[in-house]
Structure 1
């Protein structure tokens, strides 16, 4: 098993007033040749958007884009005809494919929106753009891993890649493991809240650990934790 540790205080940082963003990988003005991604996971931005602000209409192509609101609600509109709201507890995925335009705004006028924006490079290029979102109640399945994005699972949102997004919330200290679904994949463990221990690595809030050349990752998760596991091909 090989690992790579990304501590929260070593992430890139951009602050535009209306947007305060921390970058796990090179993005925008932040560039680090050692932080160009983890396998096909290319972007993980931890975004805070002030009340009433947001991203105006802009284009994407050939990227799988996952948004996970952590606090607040986000208005979304795109060129597939989607016009709706992504709420805390929802997961959204957009396959940009051959080309899509979209906008995202904080629905509240006076409270911050906090969300994760994650980009995964696609398996097949130039597919027809598509959009989907779904609500997941992790509090209903406490202390259990729940897959929310996958290429082949009925209860998960479909992604154009051999990638899996799995989340867990805890209400007690938990000894558990994550078993990788494909042998050529690695998994990027991101601590949204709480603490996580994997072998000698002690991770706190917003730290991350990439694990590869492993079949299973054993770990200890603290009480009141919220963990995101992003499993991706390493090629």
Structure 2
């Protein structure tokens, strides 16, 4: 009996962080802050087979698009960008209003042009791992990690107001583990950098924290009590 109780306690999933509408199955971006939604050629939207972009999982996925329709050059600045997307730089969702991660101003060419992202705040414990599915479309699909070059960027950013983690989604990375607990903002997005001619997009889905099979406090107490009872019975038998 004690062994059975211990086994049962070991497989009860712990309650951890949660992502709101991480599977987009409601057919909307509810729960997410969406930047670049239908603004001057960049967009964030829900897609599925009905509009030509089959979902990565289930029936719907989120799609973030960065269009590129205007020649840019080294002398084009935020103020001279005719779409005015980067003037001022996007001020994204951030925990407790802590401000934008530096990523949004310290990227290739020092500006975030014609891009978009989805974001939300999550409360995490140290060691929590966020997982997701993603697919790159357009020019960003040809980019390589660590090579800024003349290629667009797809990214995941985690920010808690002081610590900032940036994951280049041009690789095959599909998870991030939080070293610190607390309130974090998470971002998924795509951006134009220097190339003015080819659009880029990022499709994301199944954004969720990995379930960890650890005992809940009540179950752990029950298991320990059962173990104690077993030890007591064995000692009594020896007497």
- Higher RCO structure (Cα 8 Å, ≥6 apart): 2
Say which structure is richer in strand.
Answer: 1
Say which structure is richer in helix.
Answer: 2
Structure (1 or 2) with the larger CA radius of gyration: 2
TM-score for the superposition, normalised by structure 2 = 0.29
